[in-house]
Structure 1
Amino acid sequence: MVFQFPAAGYTEQRLSFGELVNLSSHSTYLLRIASDYLDIGLLKDSILTIDRSLIPRH
């Protein structure tokens, strides 16, 4: 009698960051920050998304 692995037929697709957030290759940049900015909630090695097509506002 052979025991079959229950998840043998299960395959998982890889997640694509670009597909999740709909990035444009012409106007979007990804930056990884090197320091903590705790006052605004950013931790070291966070990834920032900059979209040049949006108008900046405060």
Structure 2
Amino acid sequence: MLAIGAAVLFFISFLINAADISTNDTFTSTNIMLIGLTVLALHLAGVGTGWSSRRRR
């Protein structure tokens, strides 16, 4: 699920950059891309996978 969120953030970043949309300093394409990279890193680290360390009997 986090990978899908990262892909959406990358797409929004691409649209802002490709359309040359002027945004304020918070929502620049670079900042959105960095948030997407953070979400992707969390996905690769296994956060939000739903796996638990407890075994069910």
Q: For CA contacts below 8 A with separation 6 or more, give which structure has more relative contact order.
A: 2
TM-score by length of structure 2 reads: 0.25
Task: Please identify which structure carries the higher helix content.
Answer: 2
TM-score by length of structure 1 reads: 0.25
Asked which structure has the greater CA Rg, the reply is 1
Task: Please identify which structure carries the higher strand content.
Answer: 1
